[in-house]
Amino acid sequence: MKRVIFVVYDTSLIGGAERISLMLANSLTSDYKVTVISLFQKEDGPIVDLDSSIDHFVISDKARSLRLCRCLFVWKIMKLLKRIGPSHLVAVTAGVNPIVDLVATRTGNPWIYWEHSSLQNQSYGKNHYRRQKLGIDKSDHVVVLTQPDKDSYIKEFQVESQKISVIPSYVDFLEEPPIYHLNSKKIVSVGRLVDIKQFNHAILAAKKVFEKHPDWQWDIYGDGEERENLQELIEENQLQEQVHLKGSHKNPIEVLDQYAFLVVTSKFEGGPIVVLEAQSRGLPVISYNCPVGPKTLIRHHVNGFLVKDQSLEDLVNAVNKLIESADLRKEFSDHAMIDLEIYSKKIIKKQWKKVLNLKGK
């Protein structure tokens, strides 16, 4: 049986890239011998419960500089590979590319660079861009989440089209069918509490929205470095009774049924899994039309609103419009799942198996 090793920066991070990569690892266990390597693990365990057949290794349980300790990480992974045997390596996000590239070069194992963020998102600095270019130049294949990102990589790095596959995130449908609660007066946002997700926009929008609709609430799920700042902003605007930081949730899809709609306020998005999960539970979605993911998942005026990018005024207007029209919420909910069949686990798994069979048969 062919072996696949997912190399993840930190499997305990509450983020879409971590969650979908571990979900995919679980889904591939019927066809491959799967191993997950986490360079770090800052919390107690992976955010997704791994199948019992998956070997999960943590290289370092404390923070280290990848640049300064690169040789140590490479050596430790090579020791694992010597025991495991020939494998496909899947580098989850650009951050792990320098490690995976050195390992693959020394062992001869093929490797796949799997990017989850938009190429237009260069907020992580020049090193991130260099790691992206390294993945493009040195990997055997590249997987991105959207066609616009594939087009961007081809244009930016003059890479041949056949080297890049578009495989979106998938939604792991709950067994219980969705029941849309038309009378819900609760809005939800989900994501890491970091600057790029711009949950401060959600709070500022809530301030204006709740002046007209004081009987509504807005819950934000996630954790991260901006939590304290966001809580201060909530208190400054006296929104403690209406806007709540709910903390992280390993599987947000389990709580979505109680909400009227999802709001995405990000500056950039890859292929946001939370949008797919919300749609799978019948929720309308409002999102900034930011680069590049939301527009590939949301049909404007069909199952949600794509509002002018970074226009807080337009965001407020869209939220008010959904609040004020139960008929519109119902219409959007009825069309929430219109495209979801192409994001099923069965179809996405088939696409990944095709990529994994490109080399190293």
Q: Which residue has the tokens 């997704």?
A: 48
Please check whether residue 246 is in contact with residue 282, taking contact to mean a CB–CB distance below 8 angstroms.
no
Q: What is the CA radius of gyration of the chain?
A: 21
Q: Which amino acid is at 46?
A: P
Please check whether residue 107 is in contact with residue 81, taking contact to mean a CB–CB distance below 8 angstroms.
yes
Closest among 31, 42, 7 to 21, alpha carbons compared? 7
Q: What is the pLDDT of residue 270?
A: 86
Please check whether residue 276 is in contact with residue 296, taking contact to mean a CB–CB distance below 8 angstroms.
no
Closest among 303, 307, 333, 329 to 318, alpha carbons compared? 307
How far is Cα 99 from Cα 70, in angstroms, rounded to an integer? Answer: 7
The residues that bridge with 114 in the sheet, in sequence order, are: 92, 143
As a CATH number, domain 3-170+344-356 is: 3.40.50.2000
CA contacts within 13 A on the Cβ side of 63: 0
**Two structure tokens written together for 49:** 């419960």
Q: What is the pLDDT of residue 61?
A: 79
The residues that bridge with 264 in the sheet, in sequence order, are: 287
Q: What is the pLDDT of residue 321?
A: 98
**Two structure tokens written together for 299:** 């049909």
As a CATH number, domain 186-342 is: 3.40.50.2000
Q: Where in the chain is the domain with CATH 3.40.50.2000?
A: 3-170+344-356, 186-342
Please check whether residue 292 is in contact with residue 120, taking contact to mean a CB–CB distance below 8 angstroms.
yes
Neighbours of 83 (CB within 10 A): 7
How far is Cα 143 from Cα 115, in angstroms, rounded to an integer? Answer: 6
Specify the DSSP class assigned to residue 300: B
Contacts for 350 with CB less than 8 Å, ≥ 6 apart: none
Q: What is the pLDDT along the chain (361 residues), one digit of tens a residue?
A: 889 999 999 998 878 899 999 999 999 999 999 999 999 987 778 989 999 999 999 998 777 788 878 899 999 999 999 998 888 999 999 999 999 999 999 999 999 999 998 888 887 788 899 999 999 999 999 999 999 999 999 999 999 999 999 999 998 888 888 999 999 999 999 999 999 999 999 999 999 999 999 999 999 999 999 999 999 999 999 999 999 999 988 888 999 999 999 999 999 998 889 999 999 999 999 999 999 899 999 999 999 999 999 999 999 999 999 999 999 999 999 999 998 999 999 999 999 999 998 754 3
Q: What is the pLDDT of residue 233?
A: 98
Per DSSP (E only), the strands in the chain are 3-10, 33-40, 55-60, 88-92, 111-114, 141-144, 164-166, 186-190, 217-221, 243-247, 261-264, 285-288, 304-307
Give residue-wise pLDDT tens across range 49-68.
999 999 999 998 777 788 87
Largest separation between any pair of C-alpha atoms in the chain: 64
Q: What is the pLDDT of residue 359?
A: 56
Give the containing element (helix H, strand E) for 322. helix 312-323
Cα torsion 174, 178, 183, 188: sign: positive
How far is Cα 302 from Cα 36, in angstroms, rounded to an integer? Answer: 39
Q: What is the pLDDT of residue 360?
A: 44
Report helix, strand or coil for 245.
strand
SS percent in the chain: helix, strand, coil, step 5:
45, 20, 40
* pTM score: 0.91
Give residue-wise pLDDT tens across range 200-218.
999 999 999 999 999 999 9
DSSP annotation string for 19-62? HHHHHHHHHGGGTSEEEEEEEE--SSS-SSPPPTT-EEEEEESS
